Amino acid sequence: QKTLAFNDFYNADPETGFPLGNVQLLGHITGNILKANAPLLPRWLAGLIARNCYGWFLTSEDLPNPDSRVTVSNGRIVMHWVRSNMRAHETLIRKTRHVMRKAGFPIVLTRTFGRKTTSHQCGTARLGNDPQTSVVSTDCRSHEISNLYVTDASVLPTSAAVNPALTVAALAIKAGAAIKQR
């Protein structure tokens, strides 16, 4: 379902001068998904709408914010996420709405996901050369614990507006080479 996407506004939007994000097809939405997100919508109408619509997922880069934190409180993981880059995301929504209308979609509805939708979280063990501002070195080795390597998305300071899986895999290969060399 995610075989169609466009990155026309990804690198630098000509109007704003800054990157906006990625637009990718999610395919058909089911009536149950619509009903779950709009409880007052009658099930039959949710099914009818679902059979005649496509879902698109707009992703903007969530820029690093020092006020965002993952902590442990009373034995539970607590995520305090402060949204960043919303101006770019709102611009991406507006431009995508225009593109969809030009493509022939008669109705374009949008919904911004909240804190419960946390795709590709990054940045809790930041990669860098300076132990004062990062957790691991550029080969993913902990600055404080010499035999600890972190090879997941937490080392990335931010997630790009696309899935970071290939970048994470490349960093793991780089860390593996550093471990082998030691």
Tens of pLDDT along the chain (182 residues) come to 667 888 888 887 888 778 888 898 887 788 998 888 889 999 999 999 988 888 888 888 877 777 888 889 999 988 887 878 888 899 999 999 999 999 999 989 888 776 556 667 777 888 999 999 899 999 999 999 999 999 999 898 877 767 788 999 999 999 999 999 98
pLDDT at 173: 96
pLDDT at 130: 95
pLDDT at 67: 84
pLDDT at 83: 79
pLDDT at 109: 86
SS3 93: helix
Q: Identify which of 30, 32, 24 has the alpha carbon closest to the alpha carbon of residue 1.
A: 24
pLDDT at 114: 64
pLDDT at 123: 77
Helical (H) or strand (E) element with 73: strand 69-73
Report yes or no on whether pTM surpasses 0.75: no
**Cα–Cα distance for residue pair 83/115, rounded to 1 Å:** 9
Rounded alpha-carbon distances, angstroms, from residue 17 to 10, 57, 112: 11, 22, 23
Amino acid at 66: P
